[in-house]
A and B are shown apart, each in its own frame.
Chain A
Amino acid sequence: MNELERLDGRSANELRNLQIEVGVLHRADGSARVILGKNEVIAAVNGPRELHPKHMALSQKAIVQVTYKMLPFSVEYRKHPIPSRREKEISKVLSEAFESIILTKLFPRSTIDIQVQMIQSDGGSRTAAAIATSAALADAGIPMRGLIGGIASGLYQDHCVLDLSGIEDNEGTGDCPILYSPALDEVSLLQLDGKFTLDQFKTCFNMSIDAIKKIDEVQRAALVKKYDVIRQSILGEEPLEEDDEKAALLTVNQDVTDADVESPTQSEEPEQSSEDMTETDVTVEESQIDEVKEETVDIPKETTPVEEASTDSSSESQASEDTVVKGETSINKESLIAETLDKISKDESPKPSFDEKYNEIDEALKEANDLVTKINKHTTEPEETADKTQSSEEEDRDQFDESSVKSVTELLYEKRKNEQVKDKEKPKSGFFSSKMQELLQNNKLSTGDLNIDVTKEESTKEDEKKREVERDLEYMEYEE
């Protein structure tokens, strides 16, 4: 075997120059630019957002749409702007790869759109695209189980080499791009063409995995670099946990010296005051609605419609406004703000419950016995944490219970919650898994060698039945 001589003088397992920058675009929710050798790619993430056309939406999870696009001047010969079959295939496999790591269940009925544009392409462009996509998704703040890195390896001059450049790819006899998540130890994409022996494949595979671990570090560094600025801005902020907040609120209340403090009792009786509100609302004449609404608002965010002093009519607006404004710098305001802050933290609270479930599910496959206990644990857990400061919400719930419609909704919700836990969920590997299975059978590899999870088909009959029942219930609800 000849000595390996790569065109750019790299050794067999050496990466090309890799640069990652996140947040490069102003309009997109998240973006990243990746340079890998001569590859240059920009990924833009928009979403989760409303899906058009609506019939494509899935009621249980978000869909992930990656559009891989090569600009016409990105390659040697001008590429026609109309998407080629190659571009469409890459878009599809990338979509599937990323769907496996994004927590799509958190955003049912929505879409996460990712546009990947190759500004210049030179071998291994789909893996560069994946690196950019992964960084852009993280930049967009989309919850996912881990980052994905990717690299191609292949055969060049009968050697196993990493990260083939365009020319090496053309002259080489094999190419095998891999997407892999080091944090999860999951392969989310594998394509292969050419002639590999089993040993060669193993060498290439392991080489790629090692390289992706390095790529992962670069990705992290890029993200941390951008977010360190924001981190600094939050650094002084103390974590606001429910208990802390209440305590803080008490001390603040003692400190308040403002003359215009309202009695704290008001905030403790949200129900009463909200009744007052509705009453005053009714008295407001239609013609005045706009004006009244215009002037009332001043508190950043009350969580309960509590203590804005009444602004009854537009004729008194100026006078009443003043009193309103003064009244607002009160204990109640503090409590409201605290509550609001709490809300902010609460806004994350549904997430862990779902995430937990998501992962519980993985585990549950292995440990079916633990399942029941865990379901119980997790359906109750988030509520426990949230409950403390949401006494007002509870009150509202009581109110809702009076109406039959609500109680049905509640039931449904509970039901669905439980079901979602039971609903067995595995990371998707569709295309990949079938190909791998084939490969495994042919080459008599053991799954352990590759760390690949071959997906098991789950029985869905039960689930279907449940869904039917649920649909009926839902229908009834609509009729009501």
Chain B
Amino acid sequence: MSRYTSANIVLIFGLIIVAIGSLLYGRANMSVMDVINALFGGASEPVTIIVRELRLPRVILGIVIGAAMGVSGAALQGVLRNPLADPGVVGVSASAALGAVIAIHLGLVAIWPLSISIFAMAGALAATAILFIISARDSSVLMLILVGIGISSLAMAAISLVMNMADNPMSIRDMIMWMLGSLENRTVTDLLLAVPFIIIGWLMMINIGQGLNALSVGEDTAQTMGIDIKSLKLRVVVGSAISVGAAVAVCGSIGFVGLVVPHMVRALITNEPGRILIPSALLGGLLLTLADVVTRMPILSTDLRLGVVTSLIGAPAFLYIIYKTRRTMR
């Protein structure tokens, strides 16, 4: 068995263990048998409700969103050939957050509970459309990154404007909470809203491994190998935008997972751009689910936010990886 295969198997086992741990951990004490009975029938009604309606959607969302961020980060770093690329760099996260903040400011949740998620999704799709139009004309790496930074800055400026205009402390608190991200109190409805879009994003990125490997030796060489670079960039950028936009729409902005996870995979498993996608998805799901368990621990008097935990774990890990791989980065 190759190192790559065994590493993926270890990650799958790790993910299963963390997921079971997450299902077990909560205010109501439960045994493994309680959880299994609740999942497959046979547990009491309260236990079944807690496991199936409260804990399971949260665990599934953690895995799927972490995987979406891991894959998107790995694909974007490969296609942009920039180790600092992540879903935030193309402006999608900030645009989705802007959509959510506008919906909160307008109080649309009173009219339609899903309005915040829909607005966040619309924000992400608007950013994707801008990227799509620009990358169709000029798909150079520099142009994509600069446009992404421009979209991000514009979205952040608009978020500041909306916060400035908000006259209700409750709204401002919710906007800030949105920017810190969380899986708290996510429901099956959130799951059904996000997962189809995340899957569409993944489907757009199917079979990009070969192209990413070819691109790692340069665009000219990749073209001589028959890779349609324009199409590859478009699929990665739009696919990432859709899946990350859907993730942000239900759990807010969660930083560092898309940036750090591919670097961890490179340091631990493989450097090959096409082969880091699957382990990045698995490790992204594992880390986000683990971070979500940490948010529920009674560390402080109040619950920690998921984005805070991922940043606190991600930033030092990122610095360590950069330090260890500083020679290969040059």
Q: Do A and B come from one complex?
A: no
A residues with a Cβ closer than 8 A to B are none
